[in-house]
């Protein structure tokens, strides 16, 4: 029996790792009311798109597998094959935010079941159900919060990434809109596993493996945020941050330095995603190469010990391989 002790120890550790949350804080009535709000008529879809995209709706090449999902407060570009969002857009600074979270993870009723992601796809030991548009960006009403928990807005993220530097960047975005200046945000996933600077084919993507053996949802190699606002001279100013999707565990000044080190350009992300994010922009934009002012911003990593026990989990060519370190 002694020679099997390593196996049971490893099994116990894997079972102790954090898993996706499937318990919903929303009531059935809230969920049904929120689902009804997902179905917009053409007029409301146009109004929502105009609010989020003052410089025109993004244009993506090769969209055979993609569908655009328009909610009242944000927009998703969902890939049927990758089973997740390739980008999602929202705006801050137009509505006052308050605290609050109402978990309501559920399948998006607008997507056919054969190509929809489900909470069960995230029933595994490593990845968080990472919001593309954060629920904290929608804390001006229960329905907007609940409707960030549709699975079409979820992407698999290492918990160190989701609860660490990505969450800190989300906090900074809200800080930059506190004075009421609209900040337009494009949150997105990059699939460039071979690092050649262009988007991989969907068939080349790495998929996470659920406990039931399903390999539906593709795991991004990086994530980006493009933040845009109008400068005092009327020109568009953008801040683009491209973060490798890994288990970097940073906080405080180290997190700020990490974000600064990963500032890039809109053009770089457009090339990686085959997307023109500002198609009707006539004047040249300014790519800021310095982090916007964070003086007075309150932030901290939410990474805790159970999450850190997943360190050493890596993506292999064929699904997820877990290395349990002694």
Q: What CATH code would you report for 28-322?
A: 3.40.570.10
CA distances from 138 to 87, 90, 91 (A): 17, 9, 10
Percentage of residues in the chain having pLDDT higher than 90:
78
pTM summary value = 0.90
Query: 206-233, pLDDT tens digit by residue?
Result: 999 999 999 999 999 999 999 999 988 8
* pLDDT given for residue 146 in this prediction: 97
* pLDDT of amino acid 99: 78
| CB count in 10 Å sphere of residue 85 | 26
61 or 136: which leads in pLDDT: 136
For residue range 86-135, list pLDDT tens digits in order: 999 999 999 999 878 999 999 999 999 999 999 999 999 899 999 999 99
Task: Determine the pLDDT at residue 234.
Answer: 81
Which residue, among 190, 185, 260, 261, has the nearest Cα to 226 in the 3D structure?
A: 185
**Which DSSP helix (H) or strand (E) runs through 235?**
none
Q: Confirm if 240 and 272 have CB atoms less than 8 A apart.
A: no
Is the pLDDT score of 9 beyond 50? no
15 pLDDT higher than 50: no
In terms of C-beta density within 10 A (0-12 exposed, 13-18 middle, 19 or more buried), how is residue 171 classed?
Answer: middle
């Amino acid at each position: 029996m002694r020679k099997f002790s390593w196996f049971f120890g490893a099994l116990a550790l894997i079972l102790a790792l954090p898993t996706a949350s499937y318990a919903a804080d929303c009531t059935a009535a809230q969920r049904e009311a929120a689902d009804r709000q997902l179905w917009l008529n053409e007029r409301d879809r146009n109004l929502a798109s105009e609010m989020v995209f003052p410089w025109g709706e993004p244009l993506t090449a090769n969209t055979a597998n993609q569908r655009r999902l328009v909610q009242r407060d944000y927009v998703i570009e969902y890939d049927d094959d990758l089973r997740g969002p390739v980008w999602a857009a929202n705006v801050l600074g137009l509505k006052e935010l308050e605290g609050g979270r109402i978990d309501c993870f559920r399948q998006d009723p607008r997507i056919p079941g054969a190509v929809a992601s489900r909470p069960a796809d995230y029933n595994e030991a490593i990845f968080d159900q990472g919001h593309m548009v954060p629920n904290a960006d929608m804390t001006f009403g229960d329905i907007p919060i609940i409707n960030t928990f549709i699975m079409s807005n979820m992407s698999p993220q290492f918990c160190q990434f989701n609860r660490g530097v990505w969450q800190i960047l989300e906090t900074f975005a809200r800080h930059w809109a506190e004075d009421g200046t609209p900040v337009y945000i494009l949150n997105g996933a990059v699939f460039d596993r071979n690092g050649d600077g262009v988007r991989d084919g969907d068939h080349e993507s790495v998929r996470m493996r659920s406990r039931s053996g399903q390999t539906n949802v593709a795991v991004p190699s990086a994530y980006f945020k493009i933040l845009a606002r109008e400068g005092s001279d009327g020109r568009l100013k953008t801040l683009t941050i491209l973060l490798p999707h890994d288990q970097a565990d940073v906080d405080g000044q180290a997190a700020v330095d990490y974000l600064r080190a990963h500032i890039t350009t809109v053009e770089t992300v457009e090339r990686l995603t085959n997307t023109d994010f500002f198609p009707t922009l006539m004047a040249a934009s300014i790519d800021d190469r310095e982090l916007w002012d964070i003086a007075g911003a309150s932030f901290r990593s939410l990474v805790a010990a159970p999450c850190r026990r997943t360190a050493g989990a890596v993506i292999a060519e064929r699904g997820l391989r877990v290395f349990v370190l002694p």
